[in-house]
Amino acid sequence: MIDLTGHTALITGSTQGVGASIATSLCQAGARVILHGLRDDSAAQATLARCRQSRKDTELVLFDLSSDIERVQQDFATRILEQYPGIDLLVNNAGIFIDSPFLEMNPAIFDRTFHINVRAPYFITQAFAKHWVARSISGRILFTGSINGLLAEPTHTAYDASKGAVAALVRSLCVSLAPHAIRVNAIAPGLVRTPLTDQVLSTDRAMLKWMQLHTPNQTVPSADVCGPMAAFLLSDLAHHIHGQTIYIDGGMSAWQQPDLPDSCRSAMQAQP
């Protein structure tokens, strides 16, 4: 039922992980996709090949989003809009996690985190919105947030704050852009398997069991679970969904006390 035929999407950070899952799902739904990455490596080529199984016109652009914001707008966003003037879907997926513990955090790490996770997508979105409003294009925007925008971790202060900012940004942009027939929403994955998380999960069984315990369906899936929801939110089926963050987390965000000690569990069960 999800049909994106006739649409063209730019997906930042889409050569692997969640971004690659979104790209694959959008191609399967009929959209033309412009992949974005930092480098043309084996992961990028594998994603490009997978997308081209559905859409042979899938392309890859390379750009470093850590560049100063004027370059991000002019050399990246504006250039893509000039090359693909009919583009009407934007997925702000690129992000980084490079945190140090709070007492060791320095301004460089904090600023880089917010630049990639918040500032760059903010101004990319602004460039796209200006283009769409001037041409009466009913654009659709999707951000990739995180369960960390809702639930905190002790060594993730900058990352958590940036993803909380993304959730707030989605609401604010909804209010600003809905009158222009531009929809803004977000997906927020819980823990999913990506090249980054697999470095830990594939070697640390205790960590895997801990994360399974904190997920009601006891599953840590691949990033492929994210793509179909992204395609849905960008499709006509979601025409009345604005300013929302949809959690793709196996129920993790709903569970208050997943690791309750047995002694406390028994006491709570004995209450009338």
From CA 27, how far away is CA 8, in angstroms rounded?
Answer: 10
Q: What are phi and psi of 217, to 5 degrees?
A: -90, 5
**Cα-based torsion angle of the residue sequence 79, 83, 85, 87 in order, rounded to the nearest 10 degrees:** -90
Q: Give residue for tokens 């043309």.
A: 40
The highest-level CATH class for domain 8-270 is alpha beta
Residue ranges covered by each domain of the chain: 8-270
Amino acid, res. 254: A
- pTM of the predicted structure, to 2 decimals: 0.93
Of the candidates 142, 241, 236, which has an alpha carbon nearest to the alpha carbon of residue 189?
142
Report the C-alpha gap between 213 and 216 in whole angstroms.
Answer: 7
Cα 73 from Cα 54, distance rounded (Å):
30
Give the strand order in the sheet containing 183-189. 59-62, 32-37, 8-11, 89-92, 140-144, 183-189, 245-248
The pLDDT assigned to 65 comes to: 98
CA distance 48 to 52: 6
Distances (CA, A) of 43 to 19, 83, 105: 12, 25, 31
Query: Mind telling me the catalytic residues?
Result: 159
pLDDT tens, per residue, the chain with 272 residues: 899 999 999 999 999 999 999 999 999 999 999 999 999 999 999 999 999 999 999 999 999 999 999 999 999 999 999 999 999 999 999 999 999 999 999 999 999 999 999 999 999 999 999 999 999 999 999 999 999 999 998 899 999 999 999 999 999 999 999 999 999 999 999 888 787 777 677 777 887 787 888 888 988 888 999 999 999 999 999 999 999 999 999 999 998 777 766 666 555 454 44
48's CB contacts (< 8 A; 6+ apart) are 15, 35, 58, 60
Largest Cα–Cα separation, the chain: 66
